[in-house]
Amino acid sequence: MVLRKLKQEAEIALRHLEVLEAVKSNQPIGIFKLAELLNMPRHKVRYSLRVLEQSGIIEPTQYGAVLREGAELNIKKLKKDIKELEEQISRISEIISKL
Q: Give the pLDDT score at 2.
A: 80
* Class of the domain covering 4-70: mainly alpha
* Cα 7 from Cα 83, distance rounded (Å): 17
pLDDT in tens, 14-72: 999 999 999 999 999 999 999 999 999 999 999 999 999 999 999 999 999 999 998 99
Q: Give the pLDDT score at 31.
A: 94
Q: Is the pTM of this model over 0.85?
A: yes
To 5 degrees, how large is the angle CA 57–CA 58–CA 60?
A: 155
* Cα 78 from Cα 82, distance rounded (Å): 6
H or E stretch covering 92 = helix 71-98
pLDDT in tens, 66-94: 999 989 999 999 999 999 999 999 999 99
